[in-house]
Amino acid sequence: MVEGFIEYLRVQKRYSPRTLTLYEGYIKEFFAFVSGNPDEQSTGVLLPNLIRGFVASGLESGISSRTMNLKLSALSSFSDYLVRSGEIETNPVKRIHRPKQSKKLPQFYTERAVDNYFSREVDDDFGSLRDRTIVATLYNTGMRRAELAALKISDWDKGRGLFRVTGKGDKQREIPVTDSLRGELESYLTTYSGLFPTTPASPLFVTNSGKPLYLSFVNNTVKRELSGVEGFSGKRSPHLLRHSIATHLLNNGADLNSIKEVLGHSSLAATQVYTHNSFEQLKKVYLTAHPRAKKGG
């Protein structure tokens, strides 16, 4: 059952390999909780009381509410699949009260920190140009690391000045390419094409040996590039670059719907989490407009 469900998510829903691994693990964890054997899979154990016990046991063991809600999402998706297959009549997870989780506000880098990075000189060798262009692409476009790793040379439409990006659920979107990023890309591609044979279908970014990027390569590149730069003393990751450009766009007057389209969010609710980060802009407007602030009171 679980294997068929995971294959359905892979082929029909185009879920990422990481999500498939997590969902399979969570569902088998539930079956192991009920029967002691993850491979003993019976639709008869998909009962609200047993699912509540699974939740309670997980929370008591110290699992966060966020992680437990992810496990419930996997079970709910699996149950929906079984309903469509005629294995069960209703989705039992919909009767479960989900643990309340505190909203964790996204971290981000300041515009000054980003300026500090891009003001540095970069060597003209392939590795240096590639690493700088990876960071520039992640920040300027807000794309996810998996989306960047999957880019082909043809995904950069020079004529229209944009990237065509394939995101979650195989959804495609277009992201404008800034003039500064265009310059970074052209310098990098000139060196790239001089070292490796390229076609429009070739990966846009490759390793030192000309192989397609893997996700940990992107992580390590960002961590290495931002190390030692003033303003990047905390966590250094591709996702924080994504948070940062979303915040900076909002602070500089971009509307939420535009940011939603650039980031590839499926709903506006996912984008609204960045509104808290526009506090500095709010503070500036507030102190400019407040009558007591203007009078020095």
pLDDT tens, 199-241? Answer: 999 999 999 999 999 999 999 999 999 999 999 988 899 999 9
Catalytic residue among 10, 168, 182, 223: 168
pTM: 0.66
Catalytic residue among 71, 130, 248, 265: 265
74 and 160 part of one domain: no
76 and 160 part of one domain: no
Tokens 């699974």, located at residue: 54
Q: How many CB atoms lie within 10 A of CB 146?
A: 17
Domain membership flag for residue 155: yes
179 and 84 part of one domain: no
How far apart (Å, rounded) are the C-alpha atoms in residues 79 and 223? 39
How far apart (Å, rounded) are the C-alpha atoms in residues 146 and 168? 9
Helix (H, G, I), strand (E, B) or coil at 275: helix
pLDDT band at 104 (very low <50, low <70, confident <90, very high): low
Catalytic residue among 130, 132, 144, 248: 144
Percent of the chain scoring above 70 in pLDDT? 90
Catalytic residue among 132, 236, 242, 260: 242
- Is the per-residue pLDDT at 276 higher than 80? no
DSSP codes of every residue in 28-93: HHHHHHHHS-TT---GGG--HHHHHHHHHHHHHTT--HHHHHHHHHHHHHHHHHHHHHTS-SS-GG
> Of 95, 122, 138, which marks where a domain is finished?
95
Domain membership flag for residue 291: no
Question: In CATH, what number is assigned to the domain containing residue 72?
Answer: 1.10.150.130
Mean pLDDT of 49-67: 92
Domain membership flag for residue 294: no
**Range of the structural domain that residue 137 is part of:** 111-284
pLDDT, tens digit, for every residue of 228-238?
999 998 889 99
Mean pLDDT of 154-166: 95
What local confidence, expressed as pLDDT, does residue 269 receive?
Answer: 72
Percent of the chain scoring above 90 in pLDDT? 66
> Of 51, 69, 95, which marks where a domain is finished?
95
How far apart (Å, rounded) are the C-alpha atoms in residues 135 and 236? 11
Task: For the chain, list the strands marked E by DSSP.
Answer: 156-157, 162-166, 172-176
Domain membership flag for residue 76: yes
What local confidence, expressed as pLDDT, does residue 297 receive?
Answer: 47
- Is the per-residue pLDDT at 284 higher than 70? no
133 and 245 part of one domain: yes
- The total domain count for the chain is 2
153 and 246 part of one domain: yes
Is 286 annotated as catalytic?
no
Is 18 annotated as catalytic?
no
Domain membership flag for residue 120: yes
Question: In CATH, what number is assigned to the domain containing residue 120?
Answer: 1.10.443.10
Domain membership flag for residue 297: no
Domain membership flag for residue 289: no
What local confidence, expressed as pLDDT, does residue 233 receive?
Answer: 82
Is 239 annotated as catalytic?
yes
Is residue 65 within 8 Å of 99, Cβ to Cβ? Answer: yes
184 and 250 part of one domain: yes
55 and 188 part of one domain: no
Is 144 annotated as catalytic?
yes
- Which of 47-51, 100-104, 290-294 is predicted least confidently? 290-294
Token duo for residue 86: 């005629």
> Of 69, 95, 121, which marks where a domain is finished?
95
Domain membership flag for residue 290: no
79 and 149 part of one domain: no
51 and 117 part of one domain: no
- Is the per-residue pLDDT at 27 higher than 60? yes
How far apart (Å, rounded) are the C-alpha atoms in residues 82 and 88? 6
Gap between the terminal Cα atoms of the chain: 69
Is 242 annotated as catalytic?
yes
121 and 261 part of one domain: yes
What local confidence, expressed as pLDDT, does residue 154 receive?
Answer: 97
76 and 118 part of one domain: no
132 and 77 part of one domain: no
Among residues 67, 64, 94, 66, the alpha carbon closest in space to that of 78 is found at 94
- Which of 90-94, 129-133, 243-247, 290-294 is predicted least confidently? 290-294
Mean pLDDT of 59-69: 92
